[in-house]
Amino acid sequence: MEEMDHLPPHLRKTIFEKLYKVAEYAKLTKEEQKMYDQDLKRKWDNAAVLAQAEETGEARGEARGMRKKAEELARVFKKKGIALDLIAEGTGLSIQEIEKL
């Protein structure tokens, strides 16, 4: 294993790649393993933070889109003379919000 710089093409199958990574890790010194583990943890933490940020961004975008659609509907209904309480009930907007549109 010490003589191999990379995995030969005929061994590039998932199980062999995993074994190769384990062997590479095993030949690291304790200090190198610690540094590797810290780096790997940092990578996982960053990925988790990014995933959470994406979820939050998507949720905010959806909420803004729903809000915008409700306001558009309220404007149309208001122009048609539909009662504000009915518009509020249908769109989820308050009567005050509808009056401002």
Show the 3-state SS of the chain.
CCCCCCCCHHHCCHHHHHHHHHHHHHCCCHHHHHHHHHHHHHHHHHHHHHHHHHHHHHHHHHHHHHHHHHHHHHHHHHHCCCCHHHHHHHHCCCHHHHHHC
Residue 12 pLDDT greater than 70, yes or no: no
* The pLDDT of residue 20: 78
Mean pLDDT, residues 58-65 taken together: 94
* The pLDDT of residue 1: 44
pLDDT exceeding 90 applies to what percent of the chain?
Answer: 70
Q: Considering the domain boundaries, does residue 46 fall inside one?
A: yes
Q: Considering the domain boundaries, does residue 41 fall inside one?
A: yes
End-to-end CA separation in angstroms for the chain: 72
Q: Considering the domain boundaries, does residue 40 fall inside one?
A: yes
pLDDT band at 16 (very low <50, low <70, confident <90, very high): confident
Give phi and psi for 33, each to the nearest 5. Answer: -65, -40
Q: Considering the domain boundaries, does residue 78 fall inside one?
A: yes
Q: Considering the domain boundaries, does residue 5 fall inside one?
A: no
Mean pLDDT, residues 79-98 taken together: 92
Mean pLDDT, residues 49-67 taken together: 94
How many domains, in total, are found in the chain?
1
Angle formed at CA 30 by CA 24 and CA 37, multiple of 5 degrees: 70
Q: Considering the domain boundaries, does residue 89 fall inside one?
A: yes
Host domain of residue 41:
30-100
Could you give the dihedral angle defined by the CA atoms of residues 75, 77, 81 and 87, in that order, rounded to the nearest 10 degrees?
-100
